[in-house]
Structure 1
Amino acid sequence: MKRKLLFGILLLLVLKIRGQEHNSRFSLGFSYGFGSEFNNRNYTFTNHFYKVQLYYKVKETKRFQYQILIQPEINFAEHQLLNFYFVKPETPNYQQKRDEYTQLKDIREYVLNCGFLVRKPVGKVCSFYVLGSIGPMITDTETERMSKGFAFADVLALGFTAGYDNFRFDIRPSVRHVSNAGLGSSNAGYNTKNIEFGILYQL
C-alpha cells in the first residue's frame, strides 16, 4: 500500500513538472545564418553569424502569440570597396584611404539584438511569424562605409517554425541594416539579405 501511495505521489509530481514545462513562457535557442549585400557596384559584403536566443511569451490569444526575443550575436564579415571614388578628394589623406579601403577586410561585429515577434500558429506543430529587432553593436574594423566602434543593427524578418515535442526548428529570411546613427565620422552603413536556421527548446 505504501509503495502504491509513493508511486502515485511520484507520478503526480512528474505530471505536474511536465505540465509546468509545457506551459513555460521561456524558450532557449541557437541559430546560424549567412548573407550578403544587395547587389551594387560600390562594395562587397558577405557575412555569417551565430546567435544565442532567449524567447519570452508575453501574451497568447486564440490566433496569435506575442514574444520578446533577446539574442546575442557574433558576426563574421568580409568587406571590400570596389568603387574607390566613394572616398572623395576632400577627405583627408584620401589617396591613402582609397588604397587602404580597397583591400579585402575581415570584420567582427558583436551585437545584442532585442526584438518583438508576432507569431501565427498553424495547426499544432507549425507557425509563421514576423520579427523586428534592434540592438547595440561593436564593430572592430573601420571601413569607408562605417567607423570602428559603436553602432546599431536593425533587422526585419519573416520566419517559419515546426515543432516536435519541446523542440522547435526554425528558418528565418531577413533584411539587415547596420549604421552608427551619425555617432561616427562614416555612417553609410551596410544593407544585407540573410537567412538563418535555428533550433530552440521550450523550457
Structure 2
Amino acid sequence: MKFVFTAIFCSLYFIAYSQEQTTEKKWLRIGLVSGYTSQDTFLKQDSDYLYENISYKISSHFNLSKKDNHTWELLVEPSYYRSRHQLFNYWFISHTVPNGDELRAKFMPFKSMNEYVLNLGVIYRYYFNSKTSVYGLANVGPMYIDTETERLQKGFAFSDIFGLGSNYKLGRISIDVKCLFRHVSNANLQKPNFGYNAIGFELGTYYEFN
C-alpha cells in the first residue's frame, strides 16, 4: 500500500515538474472525478457474486496531438475505489475441493475492500464547438487490492477501463460525464484470477488551462 501511495505522489510531482520545464501548455485540465460501477448496474452480468464500488479520482489530461476538431490526450488518474463484494453461488467452490467447506466459510461472507490504482490511458476527443466535446477512452493501470476473495488474490493487479463521455465548458470550469466498463484482474501473476467486471458512470468537474 505504501508503494502505491509513493508511486502516485511521484507521478504527480513529475507531472508538475514537467509543466514547469515547457513553455507550451500541454496540460489541458485537472479535476476531481467520482463514480459508481457494479457488475449488476444495467444488466445482470454474473449471478455468482456481488461487486460494486464508489471511486474517487484526481484526473489530469495532457495534449498529445490536435488537428481541427480532433484531439488525442494522455490521461493520468490516481484513483481510490471503495468496493463491496460477496460470493452468492455456493457451488462456485467445487465440492471436489478437499477444504471446500472451509473456503466457503472464508469467502461467502460480505466483504469491504480498498483498491488503490494509477490509471494511465489515452483519450480521443471530438469538439462540436469551443464548449462541447465527446470522447472515448481506454486505460490500464497498476493497482493494489487489500482483500483476498474467491475471484482474485490480494495484492498487485491491473485495472482496465473503456469509456464514452462528454464534456461541457463553462469558462475555465468544465462538467464531465461518462459511462464505462471496468475489468480487474492480475494477468495470472497469482491465483485465483477470475477477476471482476463492472459497468457504471462517472461525474467530474475540471479546471481548464486552455
| TM-score, normalised via structure 1 length | 0.86
Are the counterparts in 2 of residues 24 and 202 from structure 1 also a CA contact under 8 Å? Answer: no
Q: Which has the larger radius of gyration?
A: 1
Q: CA deviation at 1:124?
A: 1.6
Counterpart CA distance in 2 for 1:201 and 1:25 is 14
Change over 3 Å in CA distance of 1:90–1:184 after alignment to 2:
farther
Distance 1:51 1:197 in 2: 10
Note the residue ranges of structure 2 that are not aligned, 5 or more in a row.
1-22
> What is the percentage of aligned positions where both structures have the same residue?
33
Deviation string 1:43-86 (CA, Å, 9 cap, x unpaired) is 01111010001110111101301100000100001100000211
TM-score (structure 2 length as normaliser): 0.83
Q: Is there any run of 5+ residues in structure 1 with no aligned partner, and where?
A: 1-20
What amino acid is the match of 2:39?
E
- After superposition, residues 174-185 of structure 1 pair within 5 angstroms as 174-185=180-191
CA distance in 2 between counterparts of 1:70 and 1:90 reads 45
- 1:77 and 2:79 aligned: no
Given that 2:48 and 2:88 are in contact with CA atoms closer than 8 Å, whether structure 1 keeps it comes out as: yes
Q: Which whole-Å CA distance do the structure 1 matches of 2:123 and 2:177 have between them?
A: 14
Find runs of 4+ consecutive structure 1 residues off by over 3 angstroms.
89-92
- Give, in whole Å, the separation in 2 of the partners of 1:32 and 1:92: 43
Equivalent position amino acid for 1:134 in 2 = V
Pick from 143, 147, 152: which aligns with 2:153? 147
Equivalenced residues, count: 182
Question: How much has 1:92 moved relative to structure 2?
Answer: 5.0
2:112 alignment partner in structure 1: 106
Are residue 28 (structure 1) and residue 1 (structure 2) matched? no
1:1-203 residue pairs with structure 2 within 5 A? Answer: 24-26=25-27, 27-38=29-40, 39=44, 40-91=46-97, 93-203=99-209
Q: CA deviation at 1:90?
A: 4.2
2:191 is aligned with what amino acid?
S
Give the superposed CA RMSD.
Answer: 1.4
1:132 alignment partner AA? A
